[in-house]
């Protein structure tokens, strides 16, 4: 991620994709985290060493694990220098780069994205990060604070103006901490909804984003494959 302090990648990277594709995607996070309960693996996972990027890449979901109709797509989002956040002080303070960051500013990471033929313009992506539990919690917490501080704001990308809406969603009861957001994008005469769910389990952070139904369908499977053994 080009943003220092790991801020705004959860959600804002989707803005770039939507803007560049004309908002073609069809219809992540505050103090809703779930602390580890007694007997869960949080304490043992906390003592584990972070995984390497190579290890994380092997823990990403594959198209054949998702079911029929999924094809892997390129995950590179072109860099944009003409991005401005309007009406959200927390994001504005991070600068224009906040709206173009594609990944968290953590060195150990892996990412994959899929198109789903069963839905018009439906996509789902998975990002994995590994670091100490404290570092992961802090990184995702900064994103949470920034995103949830602004229920509505705008993003200007060149000549395109995108209206943004952010609403917290109930996080899944998974992992040591979990967060979820519903993000609404309106621009170029189209409206899109993206769900983003982030789950930390020990030294691994899983972020699944995309069409709400696809995120709900695959987030538990993504966590199960990514969790440290």
Q: Is the pLDDT of residue 72 over 50?
A: yes
Q: What pLDDT is stored for residue 66 in this prediction?
A: 95
**pTM higher than the cut 0.85:** no
Rounded mean pLDDT of 200-220? 95
Which tens digits make up the pLDDT trace of 162-200? 898 999 999 999 999 999 999 998 887 888 899 999 999
Rounded mean pLDDT of 200-211? 95
**Where is pLDDT greater, at 8 or 181?**
181
Which tens digits make up the pLDDT trace of 20-45? 344 444 333 333 344 443 334 444 44
- In the chain, the percentage of residues whose pLDDT exceeds 70 is 70
Confidence of residue 51 (pLDDT cuts 50, 70, 90): very high
Q: Is the pLDDT of residue 6 over 80?
A: no
Q: What pLDDT is stored for residue 103 in this prediction?
A: 57
Which tens digits make up the pLDDT trace of 88-118? 888 777 554 444 444 577 899 999 999 998 7
For the chain, what are the domain ranges?
4-226
Long-range contact pairs involving 187-190 (C-beta distance under 8 Å, separation at least 24): 187/18, 187/19, 187/23, 187/160, 187/161, 187/162, 187/163, 188/22, 188/23, 188/160, 190/22, 190/23, 190/24
Q: Is the pLDDT of residue 155 over 60?
A: yes
Confidence of residue 81 (pLDDT cuts 50, 70, 90): low
Q: For all residues of the chain together, what is the average pLDDT?
A: 77
Confidence of residue 64 (pLDDT cuts 50, 70, 90): very high
Residues 6+ apart with CB under 8 A from 19: 155, 157, 160, 162, 187
For the chain, what is the radius of gyration of the CA atoms?
A: 16
Domain 4-226 has CATH 3.40.50.720: no
Q: Which residue has the tokens 């953590």?
A: 106
């Amino acid at each position: 991620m080009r943003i220092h302090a790991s801020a705004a990648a959860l959600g804002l990277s989707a803005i770039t994709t939507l803007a560049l594709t004309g908002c073609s995607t069809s219809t992540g996070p505050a103090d809703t985290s779930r602390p580890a309960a007694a007997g869960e693996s949080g304490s043992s996972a906390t003592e584990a060493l972070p995984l390497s990027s190579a290890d994380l890449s092997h823990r990403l979901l594959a198209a054949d694990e998702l079911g029929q109709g999924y094809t892997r797509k390129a995950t590179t989002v072109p860099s944009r220098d003409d991005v401005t956040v309007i009406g959200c002080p927390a994001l504005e303070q991070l600068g224009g780069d906040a709206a173009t960051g594609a990944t968290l500013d953590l060195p150990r990471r892996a990412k994959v994205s899929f198109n789903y033929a069963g839905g018009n313009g439906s996509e789902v992506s998975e990002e994995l990060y590994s670091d100490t539990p404290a570092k992961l919690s802090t990184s995702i917490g900064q994103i949470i604070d920034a995103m949830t501080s602004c229920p509505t704001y705008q993003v200007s990308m060149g000549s395109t103006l995108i209206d943004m809406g952010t609403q917290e969603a109930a996080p899944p009861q998974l992992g040591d901490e979990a967060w979820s957001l519903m993000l609404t994008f309106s621009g170029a005469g189209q409206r899109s909804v993206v769900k983003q769910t982030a789950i930390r389990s020990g030294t691994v952070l899983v972020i699944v984003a995309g069409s709400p139904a696809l995120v709900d369908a695959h987030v538990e499977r993504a966590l199960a494959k990514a969790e440290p053994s």
